[in-house]
Structure 1
Amino acid sequence: MQTPEQNRSFTQLIEFEIEPHQQPALISALSVQTERLAQGFSGFLSASILASDDGRRVLNYLQWQTREAGEAAFQSFESGEQDFWQLIRAHRAKTVTFGSFQVMSSIERSHDNALHCNLVN
């Protein structure tokens, strides 16, 4: 039996391609924006900002309890005090790729060092 769609968490992935000298400033700006989203919107689960070794890419990973929570937060991100498009221009992103995903399976290590797998289908 399939799990209803509303019971699946929702993940947004945003990949930025930039010049290496822009990477630290973009990471800093995304950290501030991500913290604002986490504090200001219910449904936030987790976020990570990842930097490529070559300095040319940054990946912003945001996970939400529901698609609706993630989309509401992103709409705010687009029009907030430092809107998303301004952030892209300020850090001269060459390309920005957006992806939205529903979590179908996850695995994590617990405090007692056991592995726990969650299949959501």
Structure 2
Amino acid sequence: MSAFERHRSFTQLIEFEIEPHQQEALVSALAAQSERLAQGYGGFLSASVQASDDGRRVLNYLQWQTREAGEAAFQRFESGEQDFWQLILAHQAKTVTFGSFQVRASIARSHDDALHCHMLG
């Protein structure tokens, strides 16, 4: 693996379509699950849980150092180790959409308030 490839992070996006009364409970469950991932899986970088204003969608964003780290964690989800499918059933998700993305560019503000853009080809 080249140095270029090693610096690309991997992002998993999971979008849930739910009834509005399920949103807060799903957000809490995903936040707890993300914390378990942070503690239990190598290669974890960050996570966020976002909710739509209409209450019908929740987006779980998981960022990993490598594609392999993200895929290994997701395989454990599928095997029931993290009760991912139970989470879907418990919150009566109508639709769950999965997406995987390789980070190609990132923009961040540094400690001196300057913006830095990293293009990864």
Name the TM tier (shorter chain): over 0.9
1:110 to partner: Cα distance: 1.2
TM-align CA RMSD: 1.5
Alignment length, in residue pairs?
A: 119
Structure 1: give runs of 5+ residues left out of the alignment.
Answer: none
Given that residues 8 and 104 in structure 1 are in contact (C-alpha distance below 8 angstroms), is that contact kept between their aligned partners in structure 2?
A: yes
Per the alignment, residue 102 of structure 2 pairs with: 102
Given that residues 4 and 120 in structure 2 are in contact (C-alpha distance below 8 angstroms), is that contact kept between their aligned partners in structure 1?
A: no
1:4 to partner: Cα distance: 4.3
Given that residues 14 and 59 in structure 1 are in contact (C-alpha distance below 8 angstroms), is that contact kept between their aligned partners in structure 2?
A: yes
What are the superposed Cα offsets for residues 16-60 of structure 1, whole Å, 9 maximum, x if unpaired? 000000000000110111100111011111111000000000000
Normalising by structure 1, what TM-score?
0.93
State the identity %: 77
Per the alignment, residue 111 of structure 1 pairs with: 111
Structure 2: give runs of 5+ residues left out of the alignment.
Answer: none
CA distance in 2, matches of 1:111, 1:22: 38
CA distance in 2, matches of 1:108, 1:6: 19
Letter in 1 for 2:116: H
SS at match of 2:34: helix
Given that residues 33 and 77 in structure 1 are in contact (C-alpha distance below 8 angstroms), is that contact kept between their aligned partners in structure 2?
A: no
* 1:89 lines up with 2:92 in the alignment: no
Per the alignment, residue 20 of structure 2 pairs with: 20
